[in-house]
Chains A and B, each alone.
Chain A
Amino acid sequence: MRIPCFLTRGATVVAAALASAQAAESLTARLTTDPTILSEAGELWGRLPFFNDPVALTSKPPAVVTKAPVAQGTLLFGAIKLGNGPRSVHLLAIDQPASVTADNCFLYVDANQNGDLTDDGDGKWPKARLQGVRDKAYTSFQAFPVLRASYGSPAGETAHAAYSVMLNYTIMRREDGHVLIYRRTTARVGEVSVAGKAVRLALIENDNDALFDQIAPAGDAPRPLWLMADVDGDNKFDSYAERFDARLPLALGGTTYELAIASDGASLTFTPTTKVPQTPGQRPAPRPATPRLPLLATGGLAPDFTALRPDGSTMKLSDLRGRVVVLDFWATWCGPCKASMPALDQLYRETKDQGVVVFGVCVSDKKSAFDAWQAKPGVATSYPLAFDPTGATAENGGSSVAESLARKHYNVSGIPTFYVLDREGRIAARYVGNTDESKQGLRDALLKLGIKL
């Protein structure tokens, strides 16, 4: 419950505010639909939060369907409702083949509302793309149909408007799962004249029903109803400072107004009020950037750690004391790491008889990927490999990148990172990346430690 703070102020202030409210006049604005403003390439695309709603799909055709398309696969029917008038329901059907590719799934929207799903277009989704990889692969289809938002009551239509929505159909590759969701991509736009100055407006609902109800639906988190107002007149809507809750009083040109909005959003009345205006949103302060820590200094003792060997046993870095160690932090998904491996393996073969060991510690990776590497290495190597069990993926128990031993103890910010350790476990050299400099540097460091190359 928001307590108006004028209740706590002195009577004089209240009287002054009332006088000011009475002096100001009500303002009105006529708003028209803009079906592109929230669509791709629209002014507000990607700049505001949104709320998707699911479309229930059934294989049973609704009674109102007079003609269904000839299906190549399974026809699934659904409907979305825009407005509260007699023509607010829009039928649609998806033709989903057993094995989906980017161009054999079809969408039929009964845009002309005659019950015939075959006379509204060719059924092609405007956008289709394969996303994700392997077991998480999915095909995603998008369409932006412009439909009729119908207003009035079931008995009669009092108004209608062109209203676009974004349909997004996702088919999972592996699990035979599919889901159709949609959201509004239309806003009501117009201007209001405040003290002789035109202020651009955009009214945006988030229930995806084309209704601009000012009574928030019940629930813990009712969806917002926004009024964007170009208060500073720069012809751009600031996503934060110029986004208002249309259900609360707002200040415009020095006067506070309450809004009365027609349910179709076509008209907007600003009535002066003595209530306390809302504070518009603030652009969130950027999280302070984490400074990059330098790699550990040469001469210092290399921090000890325990990593998992492919056979499940553990291996401690300190177990290698007495030998010269080339520590390689790598990952199975890291191209530069893999590109560095043949030369690293060559270096190991050349020097292992002199007590040099290359120790490849797989970090920020999935244990399953590391295990798969043992069965089928991306690059064949002969030096010992181990896995950082603290490293980074949800699959490994949800530890974070920050907790990975490479990051936490060795300040690794990119891989491959190499550390050369002397026989006492002190850091002799370190390099980031598979560069000529690092390749030469590793050799030079070994030479300095008395290794013959």
Chain B
Amino acid sequence: MLADYASLQPYNVHACPTNILIDASGKIVYRAAGWNEAALRVALAQLGIK
């Protein structure tokens, strides 16, 4: 598990869950340490996802 954790470090993962939203061009447009459904929905809506 620690090895798995190390492999996540390019994404700066320091908490569970960490949500990262990547747009169609591959750009990270949202990240949150800890579950934040309301903010994630807002970020998805900004990408035009219903």
Please give the residue numbers on chain A whose beta carbons come within 8 Å of chain B beta carbons, in ascending order: 283, 286, 289-292, 331, 333-339, 378, 412-417, 432-435
Contact = CB atoms under 8 A, between A and B. Distances in A.
Q: Which 4 A-B pairs have the closest CB atoms?
A: A414-B34, A335-B5, A413-B34, A433-B15
A331 B39 CA distance: 24
A290 B33 contact: no
Contacts of A417: 15, 34
A336 B14 contact: yes
A286 B16 CA distance: 24
Interface residues of B, number: 22
Given A334-B16, A335-B8, A336-B15, A413 B2 contact: no
8 contacts: A289-B40, A290-B38, A292-B34, A335-B16, A338-B1, A338-B5, A414-B34, A432-B33
Given A414-B16, A416-B15, A335 B39 contact: no
B43 to A, nearest CB: 11
Contact of B36 (A378, A413, A416): A413
A337 B4 CA distance: 13
The DSSP consensus for interface residues of chain B is mixed
Nearest to A436: B14
A403 to B, nearest CB: 15
Contacts of A336: 5, 13-16
B37 A289 contact: yes
Contacts of B40: 289
The DSSP consensus for interface residues of chain A is loop
Contacts of B50: 283
A394 to B, nearest CB: 19
A270 to B, nearest CB: 31
A415 B16 contact: yes
Given A336-B5, A338-B5, A339-B2, A432 B38 contact: no
B5 to A, nearest CB: 3
Interface in B1-50: 1-2, 4-5, 8, 13-18, 32-41, 50
A432 B34 contact: yes
Highest count of chain A CB atoms <10 Å: which of B16, B34, B37, B50: B16
B48 to A, nearest CB: 15
Nearest to B1: A335
Contacts of A378: 1-2
Nearest to A334: B16
Contacts of B17: 414
Nearest to B4: A335
Nearest to A286: B41
A413 B16 contact: no
B5 A331 contact: no
Highest count of chain A CB atoms <10 Å: which of B1, B13, B15: B15
Highest count of chain B CB atoms <10 Å: which of A290, A339, A378, A417: A339
A415 B14 CA distance: 9
A330 B2 CA distance: 14
A413 B14 contact: no
Contacts of B4: 335
B41 A415 contact: no
A435 B2 CA distance: 16
B37 A292 contact: yes
Contacts of B13: 335-336
A434 B41 contact: no
A433 B14 contact: yes
Contacts of A339: 2, 5
B6 to A, nearest CB: 8
Contacts of A413: 34-36
A433 B32 CA distance: 11
